[in-house]
Structure 1
Amino acid sequence: MTIIAVVLAVLAALLHVYIFVLEAFRWNEPATRKTFGVSESDAPILAPMAYNQGFYNLFLAIVTFVGVAMISSDNTTGTALALAGTGSMLAAAVVLVTHDRSMARAAATQGTIPLLAVVFLLLQL
């Protein structure tokens, strides 16, 4: 169970690093705007918010990576950190879809791997 939990947590963290890159550094690119459903005229206005949100995603990934790195030496602390990161990722996906049902696909993309990671992290306790 631990190997599956670690792999899923790392995949969730990598996804959030990718989202960080999109939001913090590629926000004004046409493909990124299309991904987030943002018009060319709105992108510069939303750029500061996206930049901040990108770092939020990076910090969740870092917490998850640190937790995963600690699981073999201190399972309780490592699992707690990995759960804090992946659980927050999952919670953000739930907030996204409950706020706007049209964001269900984005929420599923953002939240499925963290959901699986949370389940397997809890199972390995």
Structure 2
Amino acid sequence: MLIAALALLTVGVLFHGAAFVLESLMWGRPTTRRLFGVHSDDAVAATRVLAVNQGVYNLVLAAITTAGVVLLIGDPGSTVGATLALAGGAAMAIAGIALLITSRRAWQAALLQASPPAIGCTLLVSPLVTAST
């Protein structure tokens, strides 16, 4: 179950890493503009600071989760690793839910953002819950 949890959390890391690249490094490019529905030059300029900030936020989530995954690979019983993986994964899932609530047209991106880390977190904590009962 740990391997599946770490794999799903890694999918979340990859999603958020890609989001960082798109939002912080490639915001004005035509492909990114189409993907996010930002068509005019004025809209790109007006949203650039927000996009960069959001991209860095995504990078931080990916970094926290990556640290947890790496620690758990090295020591499957690592409390620090589990805490970091769960904190990052839960934040990713919550952000995906917020996207779904605020932008119904982005439902596919929201599910891709939220589902893998949410399932990964569930798989990560399920042995802990079972052990405590």
**TM-score, length of structure 2 as denominator length:** 0.87
Write the deviation string for residues 23-65 of structure 1: whole angstroms up to 9, x where unpaired: 0001111111111111132111101110010000000000001
Off by >3 Å, runs of 4+ in structure 1: none
The structure having more radius of gyration, on CA atoms, is 2
Whole-angstrom distance in 1 between the partners of 2:106 and 2:7 = 26
Q: How much has 1:124 moved relative to structure 2?
A: 3.9
Count of paired positions: 125
Q: How much has 1:85 moved relative to structure 2?
A: 0.5
Whole-angstrom distance in 2 between the partners of 1:105 and 1:7 = 20
After superposition, where does 1:79-94 map in structure 2 within 5 Å? 79-94=82-97
Does residue 32 of structure 2 align to residue 32 of structure 1?
yes
Q: How much has 1:120 moved relative to structure 2?
A: 1.5
Structure 2 gap ranges (5+):
129-133
SS at match of 1:8: helix
Does residue 9 of structure 2 align to residue 4 of structure 1?
no
**TM-score, length of structure 1 as denominator length:** 0.92
SS at match of 1:28: coil
Match of 2:50 in 1: 49
Whole-angstrom distance in 2 between the partners of 1:124 and 1:28 = 45
Identity of aligned residues (%): 37
Match of 1:14 in 2: 14
Match of 1:98 in 2: 101
SS at match of 1:15: helix
Give RMSD over aligned pairs: 1.4
Structure 1 gap ranges (5+):
none
Match of 2:110 in 1: 107
